[in-house]
Amino acid sequence: MDGQGTERTDGTGGTGGTGSTGGTGGTESDGRVSGGGREDEDVPDIGPPRSPETDSSETDPPPPDTGPPRPPETDPRPPETDPPPPDDPRTGIAALSLPYRVGVALALAVVAVAVCVHLGMVFLHVAPANTVSKRHAATVDAWIYPEFEQNWKLFAPNPLQQNVAVQVRAQIRTPDGGERTTGWHDLSAADGRAIDGNPVPSHTQQNSLRRAWDYYVATHDGDNRATGPRGTLAETYVRRLVVLRLTREGVTGEGGVVERVQVRSSTSNVEPPAWSEEKIALEPVYRVLPWWQVPDEERAGGTG
Q: How far is residue 187's CA from residue 175's CA, in Å, rounded to a whole number?
A: 25
Expressed in angstroms, the distance from the first to the final Cα of the chain is 160
Q: What is the mean pLDDT of residues 14-19?
A: 41
Could you tell me what percent of the chain has a pLDDT over 90?
32
Amino acid at 240: R
Amino acid at 43: V
Q: Mean pLDDT, the chain, as a whole number?
A: 77
pLDDT at 207: 84
For the chain, the residue count is 304
Query: Looking at the predicted structure, is the pLDDT value of residue 147 above 90?
Result: no
3-state secondary structure of 5: coil
The residue among 129 and 24 whose pLDDT is bigger is: 129
pLDDT at 86: 61
Instruction: Give the closest residue to 265 by CA, choosing from 293, 240, 285.
Output: 285
Backbone dihedral angles phi then psi of residue 199, each to the nearest 5 degrees: -70, -25
Other beta carbons less than 10 A from residue 191's beta carbon:
22
Its pTM surpasses 0.95: no
